[in-house]
A and B are shown apart, each in its own frame.
Chain A
Amino acid sequence: GAVVSQHPSWVICKSGTSVKIECRSLDFQATTMFWYRQFPKQSLMLMATSNEGSKATYEQGVEKDKFLINHASLTLSTLTVTSAHPEDSSFYICSARDPQTLNQPQHFGDGTRLSIL
Chain B
Amino acid sequence: GENVEQHPSTLSVQEGDSAVIKCTYSDSASNYFPWYKQELGKRPQLIIDIRSNVGEKKDQRIAVTLNKTAKHFSLHITETQPEDSAVYFCAASITNAGKSTFGDGTTLTVKP
Contacts and interface: CB of A to CB of B under 8 A. Distances in A.
B73 interface: no
B90 to A, nearest CB: 10
Nearest to B107: A41
A45 B94 CA distance: 18
A34 B98 CA distance: 9
Interface stretch (A14-22, A61-69, A102-110): A102-110
Interface string A71-110: 0000000000000000000000100010000011111111
Nearest to A94: B43
A46 B99 CA distance: 9
B104 A111 contact: no
Main secondary structure on A side of the interface with B: strand
A104 B98 CA distance: 9
Interface residues of B, number: 23
A107 B46 contact: yes
Contacts of B100: 106
Interface string B76-111: 000000000000010100011011101111010000
Interface residues of A, number: 20
B99 A44 contact: no
22 contacts: A32-B98, A34-B99, A42-B104, A43-B89, A43-B102, A43-B104, A44-B44, A44-B89, A44-B102, A46-B99, A49-B99, A103-B32, A103-B51, A103-B95, A105-B34, A105-B46, A106-B34, A108-B36, A108-B45, A110-B43, A111-B41, A111-B43
Interface of B: 32, 34, 36, 41-46, 49, 51, 89, 91, 95-96, 98-100, 102-105, 107
Interface of A: 32, 34, 41-44, 46, 49, 93, 97, 103-111, 113
Given A104-B96, A110-B42, 18 more contacts: A32-B98, A41-B107, A44-B44, A46-B99, A46-B102, A93-B43, A93-B44, A97-B98, A103-B32, A103-B51, A103-B95, A104-B95, A106-B34, A107-B46, A108-B43, A108-B44, A111-B41, A111-B42
